[in-house]
Amino acid sequence: MFKVLVSDPISDFGIQLLMDAPDVTVDKKPGLSEDELIGVIGEYDALLVRSQTKVTPRIMQAAKKLKVIGRAGVGVDNIDLDAATKSGIIVINAPDGNTITTCEHAFAMMMALARHIPQAYVKTIQGTWDRKSFVGVELRNKTLGVLGMGRIGSEVAKRAKAFGMEIIGFDPFMTEERAEKIGVKLGTVDEIIRQADFLTVHTPLTAETKHMIARPQFEVMKKGMRIVNCARGGIIDELALVEAIDEGIVAGAAFDVFEAEPPQADHPFLTHPKIIVTPHLGASTIEAQENVAIDVSEQVLHILREEPFKNAVNMPPVPATVMNKIQPYFGLAEKLGYFTAQMSKGPLLEIVVNYSGDLAEVDTQPITRYIVKGVLRQHLGSDVNVVNSMHLAKVRDINIIVQQSSVAKGFTNLLSVTLRTNEEERHVAGTLLNGYGERIVQIDKYPVDVAPEGHLLLVKHNDKPGLIGSVGTLLGDNGINIATMQVGRKIVGGSAIMVLSVDKIVTAEVIQALKNIPDLNKAKEIVFF
Ligand SMILES: NC(=O)C1=CN([C@@H]2O[C@H](COP(=O)(O)OP(=O)(O)OC[C@H]3O[C@@H](n4cnc5c(N)ncnc54)[C@H](O)[C@@H]3O)[C@@H](O)[C@H]2O)C=CC1
Ligand SMILES: O=C(O)CCC(=O)C(=O)O
């Protein structure tokens, strides 16, 4: 039974899927402190959060069983991603479910700002009928600058078009074609801040975007412009903004997010007459909260059940079309890594992975993660997974080389793994055979055809008559049944290998007895999972 902890208020409707799952129990414990969370997290397989829970390295250290942290929303800045990756915990988010809601909030803030709605409301309910202080501006014919033209920024731009605004945007990933399609002119950040009557930001908070709008940018802005931040506190320098408003450069600002949340009681935004604020409500609609909770619950369930999943934040994104192509190789990749590691002697220095044939044409990064996981599980067991395998290799100074070639030497696809240790170099290659599944087709350059499953016995010997019989007899005498046998050699009478699949464990004594057979050079048991 998997245990899921929900530590923030998340829509019940959204997590119903988890609550109904026969193999899952869900505990809802919103508002736990860090220490309280540390006290309980050890028993959970999954943690679901919104933005209140700060998932710190201390929490992750205590989370011995945790496989996944699901963020019901977009930004994962409340989760220490490095610590999660090092602990092998998958972090997923729900990037699409709150796009429209947040876009509508940004738009609502822009309109409220243009027409002083919050200020006028307060005065009116206080009994003052003041029609002079709140003369606003139209959006029509104004220039809207959009920094960050991802999901939310693009939706804001589309709506602004309908209001008759000119839109000028910047996003490092926005192409001219896409910009044209949504009716946006592309510009540099400098051009945008000089031209915008309204500026809205929709980027994540990164080292690059932190204070991307600060004193130098305010100095060149159009006098009387207005600014909206419904993305992340810190993209706009809060103190520089207050100065720019007081100096008459900026006419007003609307903020849903703060550099520190919740803001201190004396935060200047909270009393400034030209700044309107909301308490990080961008994603707070019934629809968005249901959407993100459903999305994240579905993916968490997939991860717990070891099924394919999407929206992992601490693993490279893979488009669905590519995923369909590479996913069948994951199992083979891990087995090849595990096999080669069991064959190898000495501290590992380098893993060389070669993808050939069909596989040379796609992004094979995720397959490499499985190979590295397979290699490392020999010594790290269940501490290694596809999230932390590359990191664990790196911290052990294991060099990973990935090569691709379009020729697959007689196969439509070939996956090969070479391990270089400080003593030797070992090599195993495998393929997916149509209708037959996973096959190991090369061991140390000897051609073989073996299914990577159960117990294998790997024997290196000289190609001499009677040797195969001696091995069979010895195994038989020890009650070990041979299911299949493969012999590979390069030249008649030269060195050769034998790969036997056997029905039970070959004990150390039997291995030693095998090694005593004349012309038998090495014997090693290989197991699969
Ligand atoms: N207030 C709220 O409740 C909510 C806030 N958000 C925040 O809104 C932001 C945008 O969310 P989405 O549109 O869903 O994300 P997204 O990932 O679709 O878009 C972000 C865009 O910012 C761009 N970007 C990154 N660095 C940039 C830079 N230096 N200059 C210009 N563009 C840059 C990226 O290329 C990307 O296209 C995120 O920070 C997210 O956390 C999202 C949902 C709710
Ligand atoms: O969960 C929330 O309400 C915050 C949403 C948010 O900021 C995000 O999705 O990035």
Pick from 98, 203, 232, 285 the residue to mutate for probing ligand 2's pocket: most ligand atoms within 8 Å of its CB: 98
Residues 47 and 147 in one domain: no
Residues 464 and 395 in one domain: no
Residues 468 and 447 in one domain: no
Provide CB contacts within 8 A for 335, sequence distance 6+: 374, 430, 438, 452, 528, 529
Give Cα separations from 145 to 103, 139, 149, 345 (angstroms).
14, 12, 10, 61
Assess if residue 529 is contained within a domain. no
Q: What is the pLDDT of residue 407?
A: 78
Q: Which CATH number do you get for residue 261?
A: 3.40.50.720
Strand segments, DSSP code E, in 94-218 are 143-147, 166-170, 185-186, 198-201
Atom of ligand 1 nearest to the CA of 209: 29
Provide CB contacts within 8 A for 207, sequence distance 6+: none
Q: Is the whole-model pTM more than 0.90?
A: no
Q: What is the pLDDT of residue 316?
A: 77
Assess if residue 370 is contained within a domain. yes
Q: Measure the CA–CA gap between 397 and 183, rounded to whole angstroms.
A: 49
Q: Which CATH number do you get for residue 349?
A: 3.30.1330.90
Assess if residue 311 is contained within a domain. no
Q: Measure the CA–CA gap between 260 and 7, rounded to whole angstroms.
A: 20
Q: Which CATH number do you get for residue 487?
A: 3.30.70.260
Domain end call among 422, 437, 453 = 453
Residues 240 and 297 in one domain: no
Q: What is the pLDDT of residue 426?
A: 96
Q: State how many domains the chain has.
A: 4
Q: Which one, of 250, 231, 242, 251, lies nearest residue 271 by Cα?
A: 242
Residues 172 and 272 in one domain: yes
Cα Rg, the chain, nearest whole Å: 30
Q: What is the pLDDT of residue 315?
A: 83
Give the residue numbers spanning the domain of 519. 457-524
For residue 512, the 8-state DSSP code is H
Residues 322 and 416 in one domain: yes
**Residue 435 φ/ψ region, left for φ over 0, alpha for ψ in the -120 to 50 degree band, beta for the rest:** left
Residues 92 and 114 in one domain: no
Residues 245 and 161 in one domain: yes
Residues 160 and 273 in one domain: yes
Domain end call among 432, 453, 474 = 453
Q: What is the pLDDT of residue 436?
A: 83
Provide CB contacts within 8 A for 347, sequence distance 6+: 421, 422
Q: Is 525 a catalytic residue?
A: no
CB atoms closer than 10 angstroms to residue 1:
8
Assess if residue 244 is contained within a domain. yes
Choosing from 219, 261, 423, 425, the catalytic residue is 261
Q: What is the pLDDT of residue 501?
A: 93
Residues 254 and 377 in one domain: no
232, 204 Cβ separation under 8 angstroms? yes
Low-confidence ranges of the chain (pLDDT < 70): none
Cis peptide before 118 (omega within 30 of 0): no
Q: What is the pLDDT of residue 308?
A: 79
Q: Is 261 a catalytic residue?
A: yes
Residues 175 and 225 in one domain: yes
Q: What angle do CA 7, 9, 11 make, to 5 degrees?
A: 120
Choosing from 202, 280, 420, 426, the catalytic residue is 280
For residue 482, the 8-state DSSP code is E
Q: What is the pLDDT of residue 424?
A: 94
Assess if residue 309 is contained within a domain. no
Give Cα separations from 25 to 9, 31, 67, 110, 270 (angstroms).
17, 19, 15, 43, 42
Q: Measure the CA–CA gap between 205 and 512, rounded to whole angstroms.
A: 61
Q: What is the pLDDT of residue 398?
A: 94
235, 209 Cβ separation under 8 angstroms? yes
DSSP per-residue letters across 79-120: B-HHHHHHTT-EEEE--STTHHHHHHHHHHHHHHHHHTHHHH
Q: Is 280 a catalytic residue?
A: yes
**Residue 357 identity (one-letter amino acid):** G
Assess if residue 377 is contained within a domain. yes
Assess if residue 282 is contained within a domain. no
Q: Which one, of 239, 312, 413, 250, lies nearest residue 67 by Cα?
A: 312
321, 103 Cβ separation under 8 angstroms? no
Residues 432 and 475 in one domain: no
Q: Measure the CA–CA gap between 1 and 305, rounded to whole angstroms.
A: 11
What residues are in contact with ligand 1 under a 6 Å CB criterion?
73-75, 95, 98-99, 102, 147-153, 170-173, 202-204, 206, 208-209, 230-232, 256-257, 280, 282-283
Assess if residue 312 is contained within a domain. no
Q: What is the pLDDT of residues 176-218, one digit of tens each?
A: 888 999 999 999 999 999 999 999 999 999 888 999 999 999 9
Choosing from 105, 159, 232, 420, the catalytic residue is 232
